[in-house]
Amino acid sequence: MKTNFGFKNLVTLIVIIGLALTGCNSATTNSSQASPSSDNLSTTQVESTTADTSSLAMNQNLPKLEGKAKVKLIVNGSPIVIELDGDDAPITAGNFVDLVERGVYDGLVFHRVIKQPQPFVAQGGDPQGKDPNFPVSRLGTGGYIDSETGQRRFIPLEIKLDGEEEPTYNEALGRQAGLSAPPVTLKHDRGAVAMARSQAPDSASSQFYIALADLEFLDGDYAVFGKVVEGMDVVDKIEQGDRIESAKVIEGAENLKQ
């Protein structure tokens, strides 16, 4: 019982302080995978970047996925197929499909892989990893820069609750909001694919993670937008530093609306 209780508290610390998800760098994980590093992209920076943008404007200007799509990642020579859910997470899934079609994920590194003390996540998608000379230990702060605007693209936190017709935007609905077990439509089951972000709700950009175990304590705080439907055995073998050799939309590309 002590071990289980300690692990849950440990993971909660990872979520609150450094699941860091958009701004986490991996520098400290070499000595302790469970010790989150500092967030180099501060919450203040993210909030100041998005504060002048209303949720309506953000939602209208971002790509959306209307329906389902599938993406195939090649990692270590083997395929991982992800089914994306544009019905319940249209903006988050649409952002991912759009970035795949732009070639953003080709060659990028899984810079944060936590398997001990128990399986947690495999995280990648920092565009800085495109440079093979960029140290993996410094990855975790980057995001997609829109070539047309020269600005970093941020997407709103998008969480749909059971029974609701539309997702809720711009606010955490789980433990970060002091709630537990929110009835989310897309759960952090093993194989779930979700967006990484810093503590600011609308700070997700291109970084994503794959759940290596059921992580229900993340429900409501991070936006799940798909799941691995083939190749979970490949995901389980991912190590920090492994690259996405290629990413391609194999079904449902026509459902992406710009």
CATH number, residue 170 = 2.40.100.10
* C-alpha to C-alpha distances, 58 to 92, 152, 202, nearest whole angstrom: 12, 13, 10
SS3 36: coil
What pLDDT score was predicted for residue 136? 87
What pLDDT score was predicted for residue 200? 92
Of the candidates 256, 187, 252, 171, the one whose C-alpha atom is nearest the C-alpha of residue 226 is 187
What pLDDT score was predicted for residue 17? 38
What pLDDT score was predicted for residue 233? 98
The domain of 116 spans 2-257
What pLDDT score was predicted for residue 149? 86
What pLDDT score was predicted for residue 258? 85
What pLDDT score was predicted for residue 46? 35
What pLDDT score was predicted for residue 59? 61
| DSSP-derived secondary structure for 87-131 | TT-HHHHHHHHHHHHTTTTTT-BEEEE--SSS--EEEE--GGGGS
What pLDDT score was predicted for residue 58? 56
Burial class (CB within 10 angstroms; exposed 0-12, middle 13-18, buried 19+) of 224: buried
What pLDDT score was predicted for residue 223? 97
Number of domains in the chain: 1
* C-alpha to C-alpha distances, 99 to 94, 146, 147, 155, 249, nearest whole angstrom: 9, 10, 12, 12, 10
Q: Provide the residue-wise pLDDT of the chain in tens; the chain has 258 residues.
A: 333 444 444 444 444 334 544 444 333 333 333 322 223 333 333 333 333 344 544 566 899 999 999 999 999 999 999 999 999 999 999 999 999 999 999 999 999 999 999 999 999 999 999 988 898 889 999 999 988 889 999 999 999 999 999 999 999 999 988 888 889 999 999 999 999 999 899 999 999 999 999 999 999 999 999 999 999 999 999 999 999 999 999 999 999 998
* C-alpha to C-alpha distances, 66 to 92, 96, 101, 185, nearest whole angstrom: 11, 13, 16, 16
